Amino acid sequence: METYDALLASITPASGETRTILDPATGSLVGEAPVHTVEDLETAIKTASAAQPAWAALGHGARSAALLKAADAVERSAEELARLLSREQGKPLNGPNARFEVGACAAWLRATAGTPLEPETVVDDGETYAELHYRPIGVVGAIGPWNWPMMITIWQIAPALRMGNAVVVKPSEYTPLSVLALVKVINEELPEGLLTVVSGGREVGARLSEHPAIGKVMFTGSTATGKAIIKSSADTIKRLTLELGGNDAGIVLPDADPAAIAEGLFWGAFINTGQTCAALKRLYVHDDIYDAVCEELTKVAAAMPMGVGLDENNVLGPLQNRAQYDIVASLVEAARDSGARILLGGDPDTGQPGHFYPTTLVADIDNNNPLVTEEQFGPALPIIRYSTVDEAISMANGLDVGLGASVWSPNLAEARKVAARLEAGTVWINKHGAVDPRVPFGGAKQSGYGLEFGVEGLKALGVPQAING
The whole-angstrom separation of Cα 268 and Cα 274 is 9
Which entry of 80, 277, 375, 452 is annotated as an active-site residue?
277
The whole-angstrom separation of Cα 211 and Cα 450 is 20
Q: Is 32 a catalytic residue?
A: no
Give the β-pairing of 426-429 and 444-445: unpaired
**For residue 280, which of 288, 270, 272, 289 has the smallest C-alpha distance?**
270
**For residue 276, which of 237, 330, 336, 221 has the smallest C-alpha distance?**
221
For the chain, the farthest-separated pair of C-alpha atoms sits apart, in whole angstroms, at 78
- Contact (Cβ atoms closer than 8 angstroms) between residue 289 and residue 256: yes
Q: Is 374 a catalytic residue?
A: no
* Beta carbons within 10 angstroms of residue 122's beta carbon: 13
* Beta carbons within 10 angstroms of residue 239's beta carbon: 17
Residues in the chain, total: 469
* Beta carbons within 10 angstroms of residue 305's beta carbon: 13
**For residue 284, which of 384, 416, 138 has the smallest C-alpha distance?**
384
Which entry of 80, 101, 243, 375 is annotated as an active-site residue?
243
- CA count, 13 A, side-chain hemisphere, 224: 1
Active site residues: 243, 277
